[in-house]
Amino acid sequence: MHKPNPNAAPSGGASAVVLAAGADDESRALLTSTLGDATVVELALANVRAVLPADRIVVVVAQGDTEIRALLGDDLTYVEQDAPLGTGHALTCARAAIPADTSALLVAYADTPLLRPESLRGLLNRHDLLGADLALLTAVVEKPLPYGRVTRDASGQITGIVERSDLTPSTDDALEINVGAYAAAPSTILAEVDALAGAGEHRLTVAVRRLIDDGAKVVTYKIVDTDEVQGINSRDELDAAADIVLRRLFMPRKNTDTHIVFGTGGWRAVIGEGYTLGNVRKLCQAIANEATRKGIDHLGVVIGGDRRFLSRESAEAAAEVFAGNNIPVTLLPDDVPTPLVTFAAPYLGAAYGIIITSSHNPPEWNGMKVFRADGSLPLDDETDRFQDEANALRAAEVITLDLDLARRAGVVVDRTLTEPYVDAIEEIIDIDAVRGSGLRVVVDPMYGTSQLTLGTILTDMRVRAEFIHATHNPLFGGVAPAPDLERLSALIQMIKNGDGRYDLGMATDGDSDRIGIVDETGEYISTNDLLLLLYWYLHEVRGEKGGVVRNIATTHLLDRLAAHFGEKSFECKVGFKHVIAGMEEIGAVLGGESSGGLTIRGWILGKDGIFACALVAEMLARTGKRISELREMIYEITGRLHTEEAGVPATPDMRIAVPRRLAAAPLTHVGAYPVVGIDHTDGTKILLENDNWALLRFSGTEPVLRMFVEADTPEKATELMDWLKGFVTA
C-alpha cells in the first residue's frame, strides 16, 4: 500500500477530491485491479499524495465500500456516494468534507493512474498564478481518443469542450482533449454542479462546459507525455496501461527524482542529480540505524573515498553522520582503492566498510559501496532496507556531529591502512619468486587509486614498472575509467612501440577493483582468458585444489578446464556478491566475471584489481612463460571458444518487446544452430551445442541491453551476435 508522502507541501490552501466510486461493479473492479506493483486506485492516489498531504485529500467511494479504504489506508478522508448518479453528484457528496480553508480544489479521477504528480502540480500552479476561475488538464494527441475535444479561438482562448457524440467535421480535427482533472475554487465548481442538479444533470463535464460558455476565466495545463492520458475503463485499457507502467520503470530518472537505488555493486548516480551530500547523509543514517538495531554499532565503521569529485567531502559527511549516532569511525585518507576498504572492514573488526566511489562509471558520476563486517557485499534484501529507509528519511532526521569536534572527542580517528593491506597481499603472493625475474611492466591506473599500493607491491617484487595516467585527474582524461580494449589504447600502443622492452601491461579501473591485461605483443587479453590462465596456474602450479565460479556472461572454457581437473564449476548471476556466494558454496579456488573482477580463496570477499595484478606477475615469474605462451598451452587442454560482446541503448519499449517476443514463441534455433536449452536466471541465456551460447541481459546500472556470445569460431560468434542484434531491433 502506498504511504503518505511526509515531504509533500500544501499548495497554499489547496485540497483534492478524488472520485473513486465508479459507475458500476465492473468499473469498481478495475479500480482495484493490479497495475505494476500496486492497484489502479493506489497509483492514482499516490500521485495526489505527492502533491498534497493526506489531511487535504477526500476520496469519494461507493456506498458500503470497504475494499478501496483498505487499500488506501485510514489517513485519508472518505465519503460515500449513495447512488451512482454521475461525477458531479459524486463531487457534491464530498462537500462537507472539503477543508473550510480550501482556496483551490483539485478534482481528479481514480481511473487515471498514469497522471504524473508534476502535471497535477502544474494544474494547481497555473490556476493560482493566473487567477483563473477554472484550470483544466489537457493533452494534444496524435490520433483521436474517446475524450471530449477542446476548441479554441484564433487567440488561443478556450471556446468549448465538444463531446464525442457532438463532433462535427470542423471539430473532428481538434486533437486537444480534455483529460478530466480540474482546479477551481470550491464555491465556483460546486455552484455550477448544484445549478445543473436541479435540471437532473449530474455530469461534471457539463458543469465545466457551462463555466466556459458563461465567460469564466478558464486556463489549461497541457500534458506533453500522452501516456498520462491512458484511463482504465476496460481490460484492454488496463493491459495498455500495464505496458506504460513497465516502460516507466526503465525511464532514466532525472530532475526531481533523487531516490537512492542500489545496483549490483552499490549506489551510483550523477553528481548534482541523484548524487548529493544530502543523499549521502541519509544513506549513512539508514546504515547507522541498521547497525544500532543489530547491536553492532560499537564495532564502528571504516570510511574511505576515491579520486572522484566530492569523494573527500562525501567521506567526511559520512563520518559526521556515524559520529552523530555514537558509532566510532576510522576515516581513511583520500585516494584509497575499493579493495583496501573491503580488506579494512574485517581487519579492523568494523561493522561496515564504506567507500565513496562510482567505480568505472564516467566522471560525472559518484556513489557508495557498502561492505559487511567480513568484507562481502550485502545481498539484495539488505541493500533494499538501506535504500528504502534512506529514501523515507527527512533531512531533519539525520543526526550529525561536527567533524572537528568528533575528532577531538576521538569518535572519528584518521588512520592509514595502506601498509597492512599491502602486507596482507604479500603474505599470499610469492614476492620472492618474482624477485630476480627481471619483469618489466607498464601500469595504467587510469587516473584512479592503485598507484601507491600496486606501485609498492611491484617495487617489493623488484619489478621494473612504468606508470602512465597516474596523476590525480577527476575527469579521468575524458573517458570512463574502465580497463577494456577501447580505453587502453595508450597502454597497448606503448607496448607495441617498446620493441620488446616490456613483458606485460597492467591496468586497473577508477577504484582499482577490476583488472585489464595486455600481453608482451600489445594484444589485449580478455578477462575470460585471464581467468582461464589464473585458474590453471592456481590449480596446477600453486597446487590449490578446488572448483571455479563464473557469472552467466563469462566463458564456458572455465567449465571445461574444471572438468579436466575433476573439479566443480558454478554459474551465478551477474554481481560479485553472487560470485562470492558461489565460491563459498563449492569451496572454489577462483571466482570471476568477464567484466574484469576476480578474487581467490583466502583473499578478500570482493574483487581486487591490485591483488590480481600481483598474481599475474607471480604467474609469469614462476612459470617463466609469457602470456601468449600460456594461452596456447591451455588452449591445448580446453580447445578454443571465441566471444563477442555488444550493447545497444535499452529503450523502455525494448524492455517490454524483447521479453515478450522471447516468451511468445519458444526458440528452437538461433539462425541455423539448434537450441538445446534456455536459462532465465539472469536475462535470457540461449544454450547451443558444444558450449556455444548467446545471452541477452538488461544492465542493472545503465539503460543498456547487453549481448554476449561464445562460439567455436570467430565467424560463428559474429553470426550469433548479428542474429541477436537483429532480434532485439526487429
Distances, alpha carbon 73 to alpha carbons 107, 110, 531, in Å = 20, 15, 54
Does residue 250 surpass a pLDDT of 50?
Answer: no
Query: 10 Å Cβ neighbour count for 590?
Result: 27
Q: Which range in 149-158, 186-195, 414-423, 469-478 is most confidently predicted, on average pLDDT?
A: 414-423
Higher model confidence: residue 554 or residue 176? 554
Q: Which class in CATH covers the domain with range 642-729?
A: alpha beta
For CA atoms 540, 541, 544, 550, give the dihedral sign: negative
Write down the pLDDT at residue 701: 62
The string over 324-356, giving b where at least 16 C-beta atoms fall within 10 Å of a residue's C-beta and e elsewhere, is bbebbbbbbebbbbbbbbbbbbbbbebbbbbbb
Task: Tell me the H-state helices in 8-86.
Answer: 25-31, 40-49, 67-72
Report yes or no on whether pTM surpasses 0.75: no
What's the average model confidence in pLDDT over 122-137?
92
Q: CATH assignment of 14-249?
A: 3.90.550.10
Domain map (residue ranges) of the chain: 14-249, 262-415, 422-638, 642-729
What's the average model confidence in pLDDT over 144-163?
80
Write down the pLDDT at residue 653: 65
Q: Which residue has the cell 597481499?
A: 425
pLDDT per position as a tens digit, 273-317:
899 999 999 999 999 999 999 999 999 999 999 999 999 999 999
The answer to whether residues 366 and 271 touch, using CB atoms and an 8 Å cutoff, is yes
pLDDT per position as a tens digit, 522-577:
999 999 999 999 999 999 999 999 999 999 999 999 999 999 999 999 999 998 98
- Residue 36 three-state SS: coil
Read off the C-alpha cell for 531: 581467468
DSSP bridge partners of 353: 302, 371
- Residue 422 three-state SS: helix
Does residue 150 surpass a pLDDT of 70?
Answer: yes
The answer to whether residues 179 and 223 touch, using CB atoms and an 8 Å cutoff, is yes
Quick one: pLDDT band at residue 7, thresholds 50, 70, 90? very low
What's the average model confidence in pLDDT over 159-170?
67
Higher model confidence: residue 60 or residue 178? 60
Pick 262-415's CATH classification: 3.40.50.300, 3.40.120.10, 3.40.640.10, 1.10.3720.10. Answer: 3.40.120.10
pLDDT per position as a tens digit, 217-241:
999 998 877 778 777 777 777 777 6
How far is 528 from 561, CA to CA, in rounded Å? 12
Q: Indicate the average pLDDT of the chain.
A: 89
Write down the pLDDT at residue 477: 87
Write down the pLDDT at residue 585: 96
Q: CATH assignment of 422-638?
A: 3.40.120.10
Quick one: pLDDT band at residue 164, thresholds 50, 70, 90? low
Report the 3 state secondary structure along 303-365: EEECCCCCHHHHHHHHHHHHHHCCCCEEECCCCCCHHHHHHHHHHHCCCEEEEECCCCCCCCE
Q: Which range in 45-59, 201-215, 241-255 is most confidently predicted, on average pLDDT?
A: 45-59
Q: β-strand 149-152 against 134-140: which pairing, if any?
A: unpaired
What's the average model confidence in pLDDT over 43-70?
92
Task: Tell me the H-state helices in 624-651.
Answer: 627-638
For CA atoms 182, 185, 188, 193, give the dihedral sign: positive
Q: What stretch of H or E contains 459?
A: helix 451-460
pLDDT per position as a tens digit, 583-639:
999 999 999 999 999 999 999 999 999 999 999 999 999 999 999 999 999 999 999
pLDDT per position as a tens digit, 505-537:
999 999 999 999 999 999 999 999 999 999 999
Closest CA to 505 of 564, 539, 463: 463
- Residue 452 three-state SS: helix
Distances, alpha carbon 382 to alpha carbons 201, 266, 628, in Å = 56, 11, 43
Percent of the chain at pLDDT above 70? Answer: 92
pLDDT per position as a tens digit, 447-464:
999 999 999 999 999 999
Write down the pLDDT at residue 143: 63
Which backbone phi and psi does 129 adopt, to 5 degrees?
A: -65, -35
pLDDT per position as a tens digit, 653-711:
676 777 777 777 778 989 899 999 999 889 899 999 999 999 999 876 666 789 999 99
Higher model confidence: residue 166 or residue 115? 115
Higher model confidence: residue 495 or residue 39? 495
Does residue 9 surpass a pLDDT of 70?
Answer: no
Write down the pLDDT at residue 23: 82
DSSP bridge partners of 79: 60
Number of helices and strands (H, E) in the chain?
24, 33
Higher model confidence: residue 409 or residue 12? 409
Same fold, 14-249 and 262-415: no
Write down the pLDDT at residue 255: 42
Write down the pLDDT at residue 10: 40
